Amino acid sequence: MSEAKIYDVPREWAEEAYVDNARYQAMYEASISDPEAFWGEHGKRIGWFEPYTRVKNTRFEPDVSIRWYEDGTTNVAWNCVDRHVAEHGDRTAIIWEGDDPSESRHISYRELASEVQRFANVLKGEGVKKGDRVTIYLPMIPEAAFAMLACARIGAVHSIVFGGFSPDSLAGRITDCGSTVVITADEGLRGGKRVPLKANVDAALAKVGGVSSVVVVKRTGAPVAMATGRDHFYADLAANVSDECPCEEMAAEDPLFILYTSGSTGKPKGVLHTTAGYLVYAAMTHQYVFDYRAGDIYWCTADVGWVTGHSYIVYGPLCNGATTLMFEGVPNYPSVSRFWEVIDKHQVTIFYTAPTAIRALMGAGEEAVKKTSRASLRLLGSVGEPINPEAWEWYHRVVGDHRCPIVDTWWQTETGGILISPLPGATRLKPGSATRPFFGVRPEIVDAEGNVLEGACEGNLVIADSWPGQMRTVYGDHQRFFDTYFSAYKGKYFTGDGCRRDEDGYYWITGRVDDVINVSGHRMGTAEVESALVAHELVSEAAVVGYPHDLKGQGIYAYVTLMAGSSGDETLRKELVGWVRREIGPIASPDLIQFAPGLPKTRSGKIMRRILRKIAEDDFGSLGDISTLADPTVVEDLIANRQNKP
């Protein structure tokens, strides 16, 4: 193993950060030896109506039950908004930077309080009650945060659907959680292009029933169809309600939100997060991992449609009373300097983005970065997929001028918050490694049989005990929760990721070991793309795998067998790509489609995906044993007709 370069903790960081290495070690050991005491203490970082007396009540076998702070009561919106108004109501809570660089807005905590309460009253007016599910399909505008916090305030459970998902995907998510209210916008605006959100909602609602109210925020002002009785403009509803709405007293384990995410099989799962443990964990990781302090201008470039936006644009930062920047646009509009210009414009001190964006901007050259100052930056973060050392080094040298530590944060929708990451004042950095576990997190590496491996090793990553931010169930399907995460390795949470641990105890995530692929930091189930493909009338069979892609991390490679009598050409390829975009959304567009007369199958008919992966990876030399195939000759055809990387 080639020894990676090591970056020492800069002296001023070791001296001034919340934790240096010695303190990290001490706190980590305390958190593992007595989780009850550790989390009992840190639970106090949020405010409670009724304080908790019971801290941890969790088990992963023989069934799964996860409860934290279970007899306490609180409210997430109170913690993220109200309590800050008294102390620093004039502080900016949200800096909104529009798609167009001439548009931005500062929203103080006092204004946020008023907006959230008004939105809460609008939802109440539409009949939303505690426990009801509300689907949010909004672009990155402040109303997205207002709507989330309004739900939290009245005890409604939000389910945000990323604006890039198709009407079909939206419809599936609305039905699964039984939402009666949908919040959307006339259109979204990204990179100068309009996204027809309201029209997508109309198309989705033509397929599913149960929605009695659609609340439409005007973003572009484009004319949209409004169904009488069902659809209302937010501004009209808001004009008739007050901006005072009391907080619902919520039990610690009452649901806060559902967020759908892809797995290796079946439809996307509704990951359910609850109130208190989630908030404690999101806020605490936000403070320590980013060494957040009053006065920081913190910018996470994610979309609120993903968990990163939930935990590290809205809930974590606002719970800490931070100033959080919300960006509507994209990294390369109007130019490839946009990120760096926004950093200068708003004097951003902490910047958190995804490797796929870094790689794309790297390709645009150093000049686009160097012409900006970035002197305000003190810390950089990375999330969503493994960051290759070249991109890490570029991020460190060019964006951070060698000055800013990088926190490579590993976590998942399911984990609620960061589980493995450097702490900037404590951890020596190795480019490409997420380094060490956060407090209270017990990572283990196991082999296929479930044996726990010691020392330097490689295998599957599991977590041996619960942490407060952990998901509690799959909405409506607790059995699936158990089967997916707790059945592979008894008594442990299985992450789905492969991982290596080095001599220093550092963790290196090697990527998914299941049929989940990570395309530009977006998680896709290969089974979902396959089922979209076979829904096309000319497709008889499809197998989808990931392959290494320079910018996206992984690209989508689809092997497609057509119905007898059909033949594949460029036109059909384009049509299938468009078809999948319409069925799932643009993020699921196949990069390469290979028409294959036959797929490699075992004699019992199971597709051997390992072989398909190898071919897509150009790794023909190590196909392994193909003698068990029903028809070994299909492999030659597959190799001969392999599609070239674009």
Q: Which residue is nearest to ligand WT7 (CB)?
A: 413
Provide, rounded to whole angstroms, the least separation between the CB of residue 16 and ligand WT7.
25
- The answer to whether 356 contacts ligand WT7 (rule: CB under 6 A) is no
Phi, psi of 529, rounded to the nearest 5 degrees:
-65, -40
Q: Which two tokens stand for residue 7?
A: 């970056």
Please tell me whether residue 497 binds ligand WT7 under the rule CB under 6 A.
Answer: yes
Q: Per CB under 6 A, does 307 bind ligand WT7? A: yes
Q: Is 494 in the site for ligand WT7 (CB under 6 A)?
A: no
Residue of the chain from 264, 372, 412, 531 that contacts ligand WT7 (CB under 6 A): 412
Binding of ligand WT7 by 584 (CB under 6 A): no
Query: Any contact of residue 383 with ligand WT7 (CB under 6 A)?
Result: yes
Question: Strand runs (DSSP E) across 228-338, as ranges?
Answer: 231-233, 250-251, 255-261, 269-274, 297-300, 323-327
Q: Which residue of 308, 324, 337, 473 would you call a contact of ligand WT7, by CB under 6 A?
A: 308
- The label of the residue with tokens 């989780």 reads 35
Closer to ligand WT7 at the Cβ: 584 or 596? 584
Q: Give CA–CA dist 208/220, Å, rounded.
A: 27
Nearer to ligand WT7, 185 or 524 (CB): 524
Q: How far from chain centre, in Å, is Cα 236? A: 33
Q: Looking at beta carbons only, is 126 or 303 nearer to ligand WT7?
A: 303
Minimum gap (Å) between residue 496 Cβ and ligand WT7: 6
- In the list 75, 135, 261, 594, the residue contacting ligand WT7 (rule: CB under 6 A) is 261
Q: Got the DSSP string for 449-512?
A: T-PEE-SSEEEEEEE-S--TTS--EETT-HHHHHHHHTTTTTTSEEEEEEEEE-TTS-EEEEEE
Per CB under 6 A, 641 contacts ligand WT7? no
User: What is the nearest approach in angstroms of ligand WT7 to the Cβ of residue 169?
Assistant: 15
Using rule CB under 6 A, residue 409 touches ligand WT7: yes
Question: What's the min distance (Å) between Cβ of 500 and ligand WT7?
Answer: 12
Question: Which of 468, 483, 153, 130 shows the shortest CA–CA distance to 318?
Answer: 153
Q: Interface with ligand WT7 includes 512 (CB under 6 A)? A: yes
Q: Which is nearer to ligand WT7, 107 or 383 (CB)?
A: 383
> Which amino acid appears at position 13 of this protein?
W
| 3-state percent breakdown (helix, strand, coil) of the chain, nearest 5 | 35, 25, 40
The three-point CA angle 545-161-559 to 5° equals: 15
CB of 270 to ligand WT7, least distance (A): 13
DSSP tag of 329: S
Question: Exposed, middle or buried by CB within 10 Å (0-12, 13-18, 19+), for 581?
Answer: middle
User: Which residues, numbered 425-484, are part of the site for ligand WT7 (CB under 6 A)?
Assistant: 434
Q: Is 385 in the site for ligand WT7 (CB under 6 A)?
A: yes
Pick between residue 200 and residue 409 the one whose CB is nearest to ligand WT7: 409
- Position 514 contacts ligand WT7 (CB under 6 A): no
| Kind and range of the H or E run holding 612 | helix 609-616
Q: Examine residue 263 and tell whether it contacts ligand WT7 (CB under 6 A).
A: no
Task: Give the span between the Cα atoms of 288 and 269, in whole angstroms.
Answer: 30
Three-class DSSP labels, 101-149:
CCCEEEEEHHHHHHHHHHHHHHHHHCCCCCCCEEEEECCCCHHHHHHHH
Structure tokens at 632: 């070994």
Check binding of 91 to ligand WT7 (CB under 6 A).
no
The residue count for binding ligand WT7 (CB under 6 A) is 23
Q: Which stretch binds ligand WT7 (CB under 6 A): 58-66, 302-310, 447-455, 524-532?
A: 302-310
> What is the rounded CA–CA span in Å between residue 537 and residue 535?
6
The answer to whether residue 554 forms part of the interface with ligand WT7 (CB under 6 A) is no
Name the residue among 531, 589, 533 with its Cα closest to residue 560. Answer: 533
The sign of the CA dihedral 140, 145, 146, 151 is: positive
Annotated binding site: 190-193, 308, 332, 384-386, 408-413, 497, 512, 520, 523, 534, 536, 539, 581
Annotate 263-275 with DSSP letters as a single string: -SSSSPEEEEEES
Q: Output 143 or 385, the one with its CB closest to ligand WT7.
A: 385
With CB under 6 A as the contact rule, which of the stretches 50-58, 67-75, 316-324, 377-385 interacts with ligand WT7?
377-385
Q: By CB under 6 A, tell whether 518 contacts ligand WT7.
A: yes
Interacting residue with ligand WT7 among 317, 384, 555, 568 (CB under 6 A): 384
Minimum Å distance from CB 292 to ligand WT7? Answer: 18
State the minimum distance, in angstroms, from the CB of residue 571 to ligand WT7: 33
Q: Which stretches of the chain bind ligand WT7, using CB under 6 A?
A: 261, 306-308, 383-386, 408-413, 434, 495-497, 509, 511-512, 518, 523
